[in-house]
Structure 1
Amino acid sequence: MARLGALLGTVQMYRLVSVVLVAIVLVALTESLVGLLGFEPLELVATLGTVLLACIVANRVMALLFRVRPHTESSVITALLLFFLFFPTTDGEELLSVALAAAIAVASKYVLAWRGRHIVNPAAIGAVIITLTGLNASVWWVGTPVLLPVVVIGALLVLYRTRQLPLGLTFIVLAAIVVTIVQSSFGLALSDALVYALGSTPIVFLAGFMLSEPLTLPPRLWQRVVLAGIVALVFSIPFSVGPLYSSPELALVVGNLLAFLVGQRRGLSLSFERSTSLTPSTTEFVFSSSRPVSFRAGQYIELSIPHSGADSSGTRRVFSIASAPSTPHELRLGVRMGESASSFKRALGSLKPAQPVRANLVAGDFLLPRDSSRPVLLVAGGIGITPFISQLEHDAARGVTRDLVLIYAIRTHDEFAYRDVLERLEIRVVLLAPHEPENLAGGWSYAGSGRLTRELIEQQVADVRERTAFVSGPPRLVSAVRAALRHLRVRRIVTDAFSGY
């Protein structure tokens, strides 16, 4: 799992979803060619080509109308999702209705949006609207036993990478149970009903590729789990209200609307103040806000910076907040820039003083225990130190003291970010670096230049099993440290690997 986390951490989220969906498409085409799938290869190719063309063209048209740069990979993902929702066909009228559903889905990203964020899943709302018109109806043919293995693998990869496994598993388990009960009430044997629920409905596909979309989820984990339960019930229990009847896409849209109601809808207008070099490869960006920004220490914020030449990472990005909630009119973000920075980071680095920046979301569950008497271990890699700085500054502002130790791993001796803050707050630090820095503060220790192994952790923090561990940094480090802590039988481990869309 540590290797898997490290590998997935190197793949940008849009790219991962695209690759996995394309893999399912290729499996479907192969199974069609050998007669395992009940559709002709030409029907699959014609439908796939239609949704791809319709989504890409519609995306470019809407981008021109709204004067923004089109995000092509996002429209490709929407097309691939729609491909699995409608019957593959070569009929001209049916293909036209599928193209219309694709155009509606793409348009919803621009029209049904608030502060630059989707209100509903585009593919789902496209399917709902086209079904209500009577021009076509979704069938979710992806919910078939012959595709289940590759769908399960793909869904788990996406859920694991986005850290949405609790949400996905809650939906899958509850929906499978309810569908099994419903089918059993219709006279189906219990075992057959369970096989039907998992193999002949789109439960796994919906959980892995649509319910888990970060842009339509509430900010807190418990809210997401509750949402997954509600969507599972709406998905599983048959009903009909006027022109509306139970369907996977309607269940998802209902969940999206509920998530919108509990999420942060106001948006934040920030003004860029200044940037300061923290290390040769990391920079702190400071923003001000006329209104107080409400957040909890350890959470992240999503910034939106429209810019020309946007690459596949798009115009939005999330960053851990380094400032404390006690200074709500100022936000500080520590960002690793690197030599091959994305177009977003280049745009961020080019901001001018007083230039406005939109923030669309504050979220996250990387929060220290409310009970300050509980001992904690903090493990940071590189710029993963940023959420800890927010938490430590917040505790200091409130006069809260904790039994706390920080293990900080850096690549080079000059990559020691926020050293002055850690010294000022008198935090106990165990440093892992290629060379021992000069003049280590009192209470600090140098742990060498090797890997952050479980032996090293146990040697430096003898009571590690009694502590709640918080790990933040690159996915490779987070996965390795989490595995080491589990070997040490640490009961509670909270991670904050860099991920998201």
Structure 2
Amino acid sequence: MQVRFDHKTEVAPGIVSLFFEPLEPYRHIAGQFVEINLQHAHPDSRGIRRWFTLSSAPEEPLLSITTRYTGKNNSSFKRSFANLHKDTVLSFSPPEGDFTLPRDRHTKLIFVAGGIGVTPIHSMVNHLLLTGEQRDVRLIYGVNTLQDAIFMEVFDEYQADVELVVANPDKDWQGATGFITADTVLAATQSSNDYLVYLSGPEPMIEKLYKELTAAGVSGKRIKTDYFPGYVNV
């Protein structure tokens, strides 16, 4: 499917949302991802294709991709993606993935996000907000600094129960510090016998939490994972 680049917005230092207009009917489920084909000059060994989560909700008129830029180590793809000209036409694959909401609206949702891994969670929560659908939502969100916490206005408007865990806090920060632990996630499961845990973030973080949660007795059937390759820290 073809899309036309519309505009971009910096949502936090080094984090940018890019917005695209679909040029044909396009449906996706909140939380899914797409593959983008970006032809550009002098591609490096990492190629011209990338997988990205759609950070937009299905109800929004424009599709959005939200990504972090790490500086000089960005790939040729990322550099070209950051410098798209308005009205540039790109190819998106059909949406894929089952990191999506359960059918049962009574299931408690425990979202665990590390850094840019919050993007599919934003898609799902904004979908709930725009449709007026009420669910029990808990978000445990790990960031490097408080300034890295994005989409908070959507989570606040939905009145989600949010716990920020800040690795490098300002001196005035009074909330949780360090990194998300399995104990923090386990504590969130205690109030319900019907829950799903959604783990989304850097691959090392997700692998560690999944291993620790299942070792603590959480069934793998109650855990959904979404890995963000190429990221090591939040």
TM-score for the superposition, normalised by structure 1 = 0.43
Cα drift, residue 468 of structure 1: 0.9
| Preserved contact between residue 125 and residue 154 of structure 2 (Cα < 8 Å) | no
> For 1:303, what is the secondary structure of its paired residue?
strand
Cα drift, residue 490 of structure 1: 2.0
Corresponding residue number in structure 2 for 1:391: 124
Structure 2: gaps (5+ residues)? none
The CA distance in 2 between the partners of 1:312 and 1:362, in whole Å, is 25
Cα drift, residue 495 of structure 1: 0.2
1:150-183: CA deviation from partner (whole Å, max 9, x where unpaired): xxxxxxxxxxxxxxxxxxxxxxxxxxxxxxxxxx
Residue identity matched to 1:410: V
Task: Tell which structure's C-alpha radius of gyration is larger.
Answer: 1
Percent same amino acid at aligned positions? 30
Cα drift, residue 462 of structure 1: 3.4
Distance 1:465 1:382, change over 3 A: farther
Does structure 1 residue 481 correspond to structure 2 residue 209? Answer: yes
The CA distance in 1 between the partners of 2:30 and 2:129, in whole Å, is 12
Corresponding residue number in structure 1 for 2:179: 451
Corresponding residue number in structure 1 for 2:227: 497
> For 2:95, what is the secondary structure of its paired residue?
strand
Corresponding residue number in structure 2 for 1:80: none
Corresponding residue number in structure 1 for 2:107: 374
The CA distance in 2 between the partners of 1:475 and 1:307, in whole Å, is 28
RMSD: 2.1
The CA distance in 1 between the partners of 2:198 and 2:188, in whole Å, is 16
Runs of 4+ in 1 over 4 A off after TM superposition: 436-439
Does structure 1 residue 332 correspond to structure 2 residue 60? Answer: no
- Which of residues 140, 155, 159 is equivalent to 1:422? 155
1:221-247: CA deviation from partner (whole Å, max 9, x where unpaired): xxxxxxxxxxxxxxxxxxxxxxxxxxx
The CA distance in 2 between the partners of 1:396 and 1:413, in whole Å, is 24
Does structure 1 residue 320 correspond to structure 2 residue 53? Answer: yes
Q: How does 1:404-415 map to 2 (within 5 A)?
A: 404-415=137-148
> For 1:471, what is the secondary structure of its paired residue?
strand
Aligned residue pairs: how many?
226
> For 1:352, what is the secondary structure of its paired residue?
coil
| Preserved contact between residue 465 and residue 488 of structure 1 (Cα < 8 Å) | no
TM-score for the superposition, normalised by structure 2 = 0.89
Distance 1:488 1:404, change over 3 A: farther
Cα drift, residue 387 of structure 1: 0.4
Greater helix fraction, Structure 1 or Structure 2 = 1
Query: With CA pairs under 8 Å and 6+ residues apart, which has the higher RCO, 1 or 2?
Result: 2
- Which of residues 135, 153, 169 is equivalent to 1:435? 169
Residue identity matched to 2:169: H
Greater strand fraction, Structure 1 or Structure 2 = 2
| Preserved contact between residue 384 and residue 473 of structure 1 (Cα < 8 Å) | yes
- Which of residues 155, 173, 195 is equivalent to 1:467? 195
Cα drift, residue 312 of structure 1: 1.6
- Which of residues 344, 347, 350 is equivalent to 2:80? 347
Q: How does 1:291-310 map to 2 (within 5 A)?
A: 291-310=24-43
Q: How does 1:202-221 map to 2 (within 5 A)?
A: none
1:46-100: CA deviation from partner (whole Å, max 9, x where unpaired): xxxxxxxxxxxxxxxxxxxxxxxxxxxxxxxxxxxxxxxxxxxxxxxxxxxxxxx
| Preserved contact between residue 468 and residue 490 of structure 1 (Cα < 8 Å) | no
| Preserved contact between residue 280 and residue 415 of structure 1 (Cα < 8 Å) | yes
Cα drift, residue 401 of structure 1: 1.1
The CA distance in 2 between the partners of 1:437 and 1:378, in whole Å, is 27
Residue identity matched to 1:358: S
Cα drift, residue 356 of structure 1: 1.0
